[in-house]
Every structure is written in structure tokens, then in C-alpha cells.
Amino acid sequence: MSMMGDSINANWQQFLDIRNSSSPQIETVTGFGGQTEYHLNATSADNQIHIHTHPDGSVDVTLDGEVFHFTAEQAKSLVINAGDGNDLITTSDASLVNGPNIVINGGNGDDIMASFNNWLPGSANITMNGDAGNDILVAGSGGQTLNGGDGHDLLIGGSGNDNLDGGNGSDFIIGGAGNDYIRGGRGDDYLYAGKGDDIVHGDRGNDFIDGGEGRDKLRGNRGDDTIIGDSHDSKLSGEKVIVDGKVVERIPNPFIG
């Protein structure tokens, strides 16, 4: 499908309200710095979206059976707005070059987003934003950013160095392999860092944090938290700290008096 749409001068805080549209739209958004973003805006429905990056860095987005093509240059700033609804969004990466930068906004609804990578030299930079709803976000082999947003979310990291943020709600986060940065956000969260040298913050709420393997930095922050680490971890801070299966001490949390 050919790319049509008006060029809109806007700052980065401006959002396009297309929720009442009956068909997908492509818009360009140009910021004050001159950088142009390409937005593919879905309808307010339960959409099925697949995003595929090609070896040359170009991207095809299949939205409910209709294919939208973006050149490698356009894919450097590509935003997919799924709209409200319970969406299923998958990605596959066959890029041989670094360059595609893709942001996926799930919108309101219980969305599922999953990334499948092909272990090729290049890699697309993918950010998944679950927004409101109880979402499931799964990273692929490259380092990705997963933001759960509001709701009780499940975030699963891949084999790369991921940034995982549960947002508001009681979330379940698994870091996977790689040196991950994990934040639970507000709510009573379960955070399992997995393999790698990870940094984990429970934030507000009564959190359960397990560092897994690696030299981790684990901090409960505000709330009555349980921290499980081992002798390899460099920093542990929480209401209850367990090292190698033994409660070593209860460390007062300075944020809760």
C-alpha cells in the first residue's frame, strides 16, 4: 500500500486522536528538531498486527491482513499505535543492519506483544508499551524495552540486555538472560532477574525480588520487600534479605522510616 497522509508539525507531546477512525491511517509527525516520525494508527478494535524487518532495514507491517511498507529510512522512527482493544502484536527481525527503531503502543485493553528474532547480525530497536490493561509483553533475542503501563502485567525478557518496567499494578516480571534493568513500579510485584548482571528496583509496594544468577544489584525501595540473592550479588537492600537460602538480616528501608 502506498503511504499517504498529511505532514503535521507538532512537538513530541502531541498525540493524534484517531480512535474513531474506521480504517488504519498513516501520519507523519515532525518535531521541533526536524526529526520525522511515521505513525501507523490502527482502529479501535481487537487488531492482529505483525511487524517484520527485512535484511536491508525496511519494515512491513501487516495489520488485519493489509500490508504497509516502510523504507529503511522511514523505519528509523516508526510508531505503531494499536488503539483500544485486546490486540495481538508480533514482531520478527531479519535485519542485517542496525537502524530500525520501532515503538509499539498497545492502547487500552489486554494486549499480547511478542518478539521473535532470527539471531542475525543486525537488530531492530523495539519498545513495547502495554498502556492500560493486563498485558503480556515478551522480548526477543535483542535488547528491548518493555513498559507494562497500568494494569497487572506479565513481562518476559529475552536473551539481550532488556529494560523492563511494570508500571502501575501488581506485575510479574522475568528478566531472562542478559544484563537487565528491571523496575516493578507501583504495586506488589514479583521480579525474577534470571541470568546476567542485573539491576532491580522494586519501587512502591510489597515486592518479591529474586536476583537469580549473576552479580546483581537488588533494591526493594518503598514497601515490605523480600530480597533473595546469593554471595555473588554486590548490593542487596530490602526489608527481608535472603542470601544463599538463609535470612542474613533485616535491613531497614530508609524510604519507609
In this predicted model, what pLDDT tens digit does every residue of 206-257 receive, in sequence order? Answer: 999 999 999 999 999 888 899 998 777 667 776 677 676 656 655 454 433 3
* Cα 218 to Cα 195: distance, rounded to the nearest angstrom: 14
What are the residues facing 155 on neighbouring strands? 137, 173
What's the rounded Cα separation, in Å, for the pair 24 and 22? 7
Residue extents of the structural domains in the chain: 7-250
Per-residue pLDDT, 256: 36
pLDDT at 241: 76
- How confident is the model at residue 249, as a pLDDT? 56
pLDDT band at 174 (very low <50, low <70, confident <90, very high): very high
pLDDT tens digits, one per residue of 95-150: 777 779 999 999 999 999 999 875 555 678 999 999 999 999 999 888 899 999 99
Check residue 103 and give its pLDDT: 97
Q: How far apart are CA 73 and CA 255, in angstroms?
A: 46
Interatomic CA distance for residues 231 and 89, integer angstroms: 40
- Residue 239 confidence (pLDDT): 62
Phi/psi of residue 93, nearest 5 degrees: -115, 115
Please give the pLDDT value at position 233.
66
Q: Are 209 and 200 in contact (CB under 8 A)?
A: yes
Task: Give the pLDDT score at 44.
Answer: 82
